Amino acid sequence: MRDAIREALSEEMRLDPKVLIMGEEVAEYNGAYKVTQGMLDEFGPKRVIDTPISELGFAGVAVGASMNGLRPVVEFMTFNFALLAIDQIVNSAAKMKAMSGGQFECPIVFRGPSASAGQLGAQHAQSFENWYANVPGLKVISPSTPYDSKGLLKAAIRDNNAVIFMESEMMYGDAGEVPEGEYIIEIGKADIKRAGTDVTIVSFNKMMKVALGAAEELAKEGISAEVIDLRTIRPMDHDTIIQSIKKTNRLVIVDESWPFGGISSEVTYIAQRYAFDYLDAPIRRINGADSSMHYAPNLVEAYLPSVERTVKACKEICYVA
């Protein structure tokens, strides 16, 4: 996945001299996760820019650059650190086009890892997709495969709006097929990663591994699960979710974020608003625990959604003992 993201960045920088990347350790150190490895040598220090440890400062610089014709990609070492820059993201990047009456566009991508990555403690393990998706003016992308990451990041860089592109530290080493030729994935389109007939499982980012793992286990017991990867949180592809529910009549959402006001809540609303008459069982949500993440490995395991919890929920609504 790190190679796919690097390919997307490099290809767009070769195509458009206005594209640049900036963030902590993206240049001399080749990136905290080696996503930008070799890019300083190819593009030079004016387009691959190491920044001070000041998220609010360099996010503001990037917003100003985007208003003046550049297309910055801002890497946060983790979206937990992006909280320091949230004023520039929410009050400047997201609102600039509306506040200026369309005089200023803000073509900017804020990217980096979100959510948990093992034993990193409470301040480095938070899933913020729902926070940013709550803000009009921001598009939010959270992919689960190298193929999707490359195609969606290229689309994000070309978009004239502010885009939040959320990755996972635990997936940078994941392998997957990526075509050699040019391709773009449309922002706002979910993907059915596994077709099924008995229950719909909706998820995104690394929780797709839980969803697909649950589908494998359910298949052993004769339950056919359809697994939908949202890919884009905002705008969300309601139609794919609704059409799947009309086929399976059951819905389970796997979402690492906290249960209160999470992505799972939004998907639940969409299902009840537009597909209520097709539901044959209550909707089930599998979320992270409603608490801070702890450091101990047994508590990390207890906190996160799991294959076992997902399988149990699916079996319960499929009326399987």
The residues that are catalytic are 55, 124
Asked if residue 130 lies in contact with residue 95, where contact means CB atoms within 8 angstroms, the answer is: no
Asked if residue 243 lies in contact with residue 236, where contact means CB atoms within 8 angstroms, the answer is: no
Cβ contacts of 220 within 8 Å, gap of 6 or more: none
Asked if residue 231 lies in contact with residue 142, where contact means CB atoms within 8 angstroms, the answer is: yes
Give the dihedral of Cα atoms 136, 137, 143, 146; nearest 10 deg: 180
Q: What tokens appear for 263 in the block?
A: 């992505």
Give DSSP secondary structure letters for 107-166: --EEEEE-S--SS--GGG----HHHHHTSTTEEEE---SHHHHHHHHHHHHH-SSEEEEE
Strands (E), 39-93: 48-50, 71-75
Beta bridge partners, 263, equal none
Please state whether the peptide bond connecting residue 72 to the residue before it is cis, i.e. omega within 30 degrees of 0.
no
With tokens 């449309």, the residue in question is 186
Q: Residue 23, SS3?
A: strand
